[in-house]
Amino acid sequence: MSRNAASVLILICGIVFQLSHGVEVNVTDSQDKLCLYANLMVNFTVLYEAAGNENKTAKIQLPSDVTKDGSKCDTTSSTLKLNFGEGHSFSMNFTTNEKMYQADSITFSYNLSDSSHFPQSLSNETVSVTVKPQITNVGLDTCYSCKSEDMIQADLVNMTLWNVLMQAFVSNGSKSEKITSCKADIPTTPVPPTTHSTSTTTAAPVTNTTSTAPPPTTTPTPTLPPPTTGKYSINPGNGTACLLATFGLRIGFKQGEKYQEMNLEPNGTKVSGNCGVNSSELQLTANTMTILFTFTNDTTKFHLQALNLTAKTSSGAEFSQMNTNLSLWEATIGSSYMCNKEQNYTITNLLTLYTFNLQVQPFGVKKDGFSTAEECFLDSDLSFLVPIAVGVALSFLIILVLISYLIGRRKSRTGYQSV
């Protein structure tokens, strides 16, 4: 996903809205009056089967040159359909009652015969996936706004929506100035402490002594216990695992001004994914989060290239982040990567990943077991030499400074005596 594109600030529906390569669409009714308005950004990640028994990942961004053929609206239902490229489309269906409207479904159709996006695809079909988004209870005469990223998963497709501003049912031909914000955009307000008062007060006698009230006590933020180590594997159906992973996992994320941490619980976590020649995926779906790991290799070494995460916060809001340009957990093909020590990785400026007892092998698994492990630096026997080397270097530096000081004093004294 491109986060560094140039941004343009525009004023829409009474708010300042940051946009980068956004798609703006106006749908009109039979009387040529505006009946549906949309301004949004969408990225698609599609896993498809390519020649050579290889699974590849296509990354598509909704372009600005879309057509709106198939878009329509009436008093009870509306459809936004954006057509682009060689047979691709993105559509949203809305329904309304007398006071609220919602998005009932999102459908993404992609043409696998489009070689510009799906090179060497084994299929020429047009595939459609439909999901239900979390866009509900939007006031009828308001614009729905969501600047935060909303990642939606469906089969082999990940869709990420952000910088969304839309009104599915426009009245009187003009957009509303009122806003209904998504939960992810609403800042979390801390609950003020509860104070107790009595209905009557008694005057205290005046004395010459004063007393100092004890300082208020603070409740420390509870620390999460170490996450439970889970064992995960992908079996393509031939009775042999093609991907193995073992780790305890914790995520730390910031939403608004609030920082939260959450452990992945292996019990009840559903495991899915696939293995390919150059790309393998592991998806873990728990009650509190869904996380997708994408591994790639260059025929000699493999590494973790992408991570997609969607989490449910304590307030019930959804948090989504993605990074497709990682270079973590690198090891030689035919071996596994291991790091038993606690590690933390900055995935995005809002998401941190913590791992414990980590070992992964996304390629070349044999006999359902890990191959010889390549250890991270902290696990290696050389890690303890670093503080020793630093100490030795500092000692030499101190000795060098002392010698220079003594030589300087001696020269100064000799020069003084010769005068």
Query: What does the H/E/C string look like for 34-68?
Result: EEEEEEEEEEEEEEEEECCCEEEEEEEECCCCCEC
> What stretch of H or E contains 319?
strand 318-323
- Let me know whether 240 and 349 are in one domain: yes
% helix, strand, coil for the chain, step of 5: 10, 50, 45
- Let me know whether 259 and 131 are in one domain: no
More confident residue, 195 or 404: 404
pLDDT of residue 177 exceeding 60:
yes
pLDDT of residue 19 exceeding 80:
no
DSSP helix/strand/coil, 259: strand
Structural domain total, the chain: 2
pLDDT of residue 191 exceeding 90:
no
Residues in the chain: 419
Q: What is the chain's Cα-based Rg?
A: 30
Q: What is the mean pLDDT of the chain?
A: 81
DSSP helix/strand/coil, 323: strand
Whether residue 399 is contained in a domain is answered as no
What band does 68 get if pLDDT is binned at 50, 70 and 90?
very high
DSSP helix/strand/coil, 214: coil
Which DSSP letter does residue 350 get? T
Report the alpha-carbon distance of residue 198 to residue 177 in Å, rounded. 45
- Let me know whether 244 and 119 are in one domain: no
- Let me know whether 28 and 106 are in one domain: yes
In terms of phi and psi (left: phi > 0; alpha: psi -120 to 50; beta: otherwise), the region of 417 is alpha
Task: Kindly report the number of other CB atoms within 10 A of residue 385's CB atom.
Answer: 11
The predicted pLDDT at position 100 comes to 92
More confident residue, 365 or 419: 365
Domain around 272: 230-379
pTM for the model = 0.47
Average pLDDT over residues 267-287: 92
The predicted pLDDT at position 89 comes to 96
Q: Six-digit token pair at 225?
A: 């216990």
First-residue to last-residue Cα distance in the chain: 76
Please write the tens of the pLDDT for every residue from 33-60. 999 999 999 999 898 988 887 888 899 9
- Let me know whether 304 and 370 are in one domain: yes
Whether residue 155 is contained in a domain is answered as yes
Place of tokens 């070494």: 301
DSSP helix/strand/coil, 411: helix
Whether residue 284 is contained in a domain is answered as yes
CATH no. for residue 372?
2.40.160.110
The predicted pLDDT at position 34 comes to 94
Average pLDDT over residues 221-240: 83
pLDDT of residue 404 exceeding 70:
yes
- Let me know whether 371 and 243 are in one domain: yes
Q: Are 270 and 285 in contact (CB under 8 A)?
A: yes
- Let me know whether 43 and 174 are in one domain: yes
pLDDT of residue 189 exceeding 60:
no
- Let me know whether 45 and 172 are in one domain: yes
pLDDT of residue 376 exceeding 80:
yes
- Let me know whether 130 and 246 are in one domain: no
Q: Are 55 and 320 in contact (CB under 8 A)?
A: no
The predicted pLDDT at position 385 comes to 52
- Let me know whether 335 and 251 are in one domain: yes
pLDDT of residue 390 exceeding 70:
no
Distance from chain centroid for Cα 49? 25
C-alpha distances (whole Å) from 124 to each of 65, 83, 266 are 24, 18, 39
Whether residue 331 is contained in a domain is answered as yes
Whether residue 8 is contained in a domain is answered as no
DSSP helix/strand/coil, 377: helix
What band does 153 get if pLDDT is binned at 50, 70 and 90?
confident
The predicted pLDDT at position 204 comes to 44
Please write the tens of the pLDDT for every residue from 100-133. 999 999 999 999 999 999 999 999 999 998 888 8
Report the alpha-carbon distance of residue 13 to residue 323 in Å, rounded. 31
Report the alpha-carbon distance of residue 249 to residue 263 in Å, rounded. 6
Whether residue 334 is contained in a domain is answered as yes
Average pLDDT over residues 366-391: 73
More confident residue, 395 or 322: 322
